[in-house]
Amino acid sequence: MSRYFTEDHEWIDVDGETGTVGISEYAQGQLGDIVFVDVPEEGKQLAKGDEAAVVESVKAASDVYSPVSGHVIEGNTALGDDPSLVNSDPEGEGWFFKITLSDTAELEELMDETAYEAFVAKL
Amino acid sequence: MTINQSGWKPTSPTAKDGGAPATFTGNRALMLEEPLIFEIGDLHTTGVDFPDGDVAGSRLGDLTRKDPIGLAGLSEPETVRHYTRLSRQNYAIDLGLFPLGSCTMKHNPRLNERMARLPGFADIHPLQPVDTVQGALGVINELAHWLITLTGMHGVAMSPKAGAHGELCGILCIKAALEKRGEGHRKVVLVPESAHGTNPATAAFAGFTVEDIPATPDGRVDTVALEARLGPDVAAVMITNPNTCGLFERDLKRISDAVHAAGGYVYCDGANFNAIVGKVRPGDLGVDAMHINLHKTFSTPHGGGGPGSGPVVLSEALSPFGPLPFTARHVNGHIQLVEEETAGDDHPDTFGRMTAFQGQMGMFTRALTYILSHGADGLRQVAEDAVLNANYVLRSLEDTLDAPFAASGPCMHEAIFSDAGLAEGFSTIDVAKALIDEGFHPMTMYFPLVVHGAMLVEPTETESKAALDQFIGALRSVAERAKAGDQSLKTAPHFAPRARLDETLAARKPVLVWKEKPLAVAAE
């Protein structure tokens, strides 16, 4: 399983043709205390870069974009009851949705962990 | 910090007054601890004494209420005291400087109020025959004339009820004009990052696709990027001028020419018109539609003090599509209300209505009073003093706080600072909360989004140099404490009736409905 990052601070763990998407540790730190998360429903078709989810903190509301194209298998319903999971474990329990990738070649445009760390260091 | 875990009511007063004893009532001398209105009074008390009804029987049949309504009653003095006590805990422009950025919290002249309360304006009904409300229609018509004159535009839609409502009106005019031209396929609205947050929402609500245009590092529209994006799919550009970075968009004429050459329209968000009124006519800059917040530029009360009003001035190209109803003065002096039944062949392209009636009469009367009592020289001085005051704040504090656009030339209506330079772990919210202890309403926080930890201060022309000096001194003192890492800021405010509230808990577990026993329910 490998993890990729976008410049918009989403991460995706890819296992075969299935990906798990969330927002990065850096992103949750910038957003502050998260108070509401709206995850996509099962079956929703997403193109790479589409608005997939909404995350609201005490400071701002932000869109979360899909790092790849595909259809949603599952949204993380636990975030509805406890949005603070995104703050406490953004790259684990605080995942947003799982997606079936329609084009794995799209992953080549994303950053690996080392490249993302270098990208964040420059911000 | 003590937090009521139910989240339904703020914390009790915290004992921060140097070991002073608790009082039996919870009051602190004249600062009274006031319960909710549902918690005072009882079912057997009333402030009115109606005579028994002389109507025999009820026509409600099965709909007659069978159980008591259960609302506690209050006597008249209890009612008066409750609301007077609450008002004493509020902060208002009549109490002190109100620095909210982009909100233009300026003094509401008492003359405006006196005019708006004249019975001929205050006690009329929108469905009265027009012959009986000629004076009120005359006010609307004359205000329309002055708004057109001050902006150098061709027409005006008076009915929109607030800024964002005005934006929608302008965008619907643009949509109708494009459809009339057979170019309804133009679906893209370009919105620069330096624009107000309502602009993209308006465009999306009207069915357009929104695309962002970046800002330059100096806080203005990236004109080259905007021009490069223009094309046959672009319906309009929505640009805020002066923009939300507090700067004048110097390229607006060039942008308008390029947008028009590409077949699009220019919407200007005129929320900050107060900084340029009497100095710049947006019509001369090629603007096709712009809303004017009467409650900001022309001093009608807002922010809980009154309704907004957002008339939209329109170019010659867009005027035919403006909404009904509107006023028209005949040569004989009679003012007609042009509505669906009377529009006839004169206004066939109207997109429809924004509101049931003519708009906010009280705001119209106040705004016209403000315009006429200031005169042309007075309005110019309003803009000059507002800009002078904002620059005084900016230049007085740029040595203490980071001012990201300090090198972009003079600011317009507002001064912007970032949280750069505050000690590790300290943020804009700590500065804002400490300003409450200093007796000020905080500035706008975390907006615009292009500035990290933005602090947006708009003093308006209302404030004297003495008032500004006091505010600047307070903000400087708080900022220096935040730079030095003064931990007491993290729990500010210390002297307000409520200490630092848990805003995260309030947002995560909002309790919006009062219940008799809320604690157990709300804790879940």
Of B37, B30, B45, the residue nearest B83 (C-alpha): B37
Distance CA B410, CA B392 (A): 10
Q: Pairing mode, if any, of strands A70-75 and A97-101? A: antiparallel
Question: Which residues in chain A (16-55) have CB-CB distances under 8 A to chain B?
Answer: 33, 35-36
Q: What is the pTM of this model?
A: 0.87
A115 within a domain of the structure (yes/no): no
Radius of gyration of chain A from Cα atoms?
A: 13
Confidence of residue B306 (pLDDT cuts 50, 70, 90): low
Task: Specify the 3-state DSSP secondary structure of B269.
Answer: strand
Percent of chain A with pLDDT over 90: 87
For residue A14, the SS3 value is strand
Q: Domain count for chain A, please give it.
A: 1
Q: What is the pLDDT of residues B327-336, one digit of tens each?
A: 999 989 999 9
Residue B439's pLDDT band (cuts 50, 70, 90): very high
Contact indicator for B269, B238 with CB cutoff of 8 Å: yes
* Domains in chain B: ranges and CATH: 34-47+70-89 (no CATH), 153-368 (3.40.640.10)
CA B190 to CA B152: how far, in whole Å?
A: 24
**8 A C-beta contact, residue B269 and residue B242:** no
Q: Per residue of chain A (123 residues), what is the pLDDT tens digit?
A: 789 999 999 999 999 999 999 999 999 998 889 999 999 999 999 999 999 999 998 877 889 999 999 999 999 999 999 999 999 999 999 999 999 999 999 999 999 999 999 999 988
Residues of A in contact with B204 (CB under 8 A): none
CB burial string B268-300: b at 16+ within 10 A, e below: bbbbbbbbbbbebbbbebbbbbbbbbbbbbbbb
Residue B433: list chain A partners with CB under 8 A.
none
Q: What is the reported pLDDT for B304?
A: 63
Q: In this complex, do A35 and B446 lie within 8 Å of one another by their Cβ atoms?
A: no
C-beta atoms of A35 and B504 within 8 A: yes
**Nearest neighbour of B449 by CB, restricted to A35, A56, A60:** A60
**Nearest residue in chain B measured CA to CA from A29:** B425
Q: Is residue A122 part of a domain?
A: no
Q: What is the mean pLDDT of residues B45-74?
A: 83
Q: A58 lies in a domain? A: yes
**Residues from chain B contacting residue A84 (CB–CB below 8 Å):** 508
The residues with which B265 forms a beta bridge, in sequence order, are B236
Establish if A38 belongs to a structural domain.
Answer: yes
Please check whether residue A121 lies inside any domain of the structure.
no
How far from B26 is each of B2, B18, B85, CA to CA, in Å?
16, 16, 14
> Which three-class secondary structure state does DSSP give residue A74?
strand
Helix, strand, coil: what percent of chain B each, to 5? Answer: 40, 10, 50
User: What confidence tier does B124 reach under pLDDT thresholds 50, 70, 90?
Assistant: very high
Share of chain A above pLDDT 70, in %: 100
User: By C-alpha distance, which of B343, B323, B349 is closest to B181?
Assistant: B349
A38-69 confidence digits (pLDDT tens): 999 999 999 999 999 999 988 778 899 999 99
A–B interface: beta-carbon pairs under 8 A: 17
Which residue range forms the structural domain that includes residue A24? 2-106
pLDDT in tens, B269-295: 999 999 999 999 999 999 999 999 999
Given CB atoms, is B55 within the 8 Å cutoff of chain A?
no
Residue of B nearest to A33 (CA): B504
Residue A29 to residue A9: CA distance in whole angstroms: 11
- The answer to whether the CB atoms of A36 and B503 lie below 8 A apart is no
Q: What is the ipTM of this complex?
A: 0.75
B508 contact A CB<8A: yes
Specify if A7 maps to a domain.
yes
- The rounded distance, in Å, linking the Cα atoms of B106 and B194 is 23
- Kindly identify which residue of chain B lies nearest to residue A123, measuring between CA atoms: B452
Q: Is residue A66 a part of any domain in this protein?
A: yes
List Cα–Cα distances, A120 to A2, A25, A30, A116, B418, in angstroms.
19, 11, 12, 6, 20
CATH code of the domain containing A79: 2.40.50.100
**CA–centroid distance for B122 within its chain:** 23
Rounded CA gap, A64 and A43, in Å?
17
d(CA B362, CA B348): 30
The answer on pLDDT for B514 being more than 70 is yes
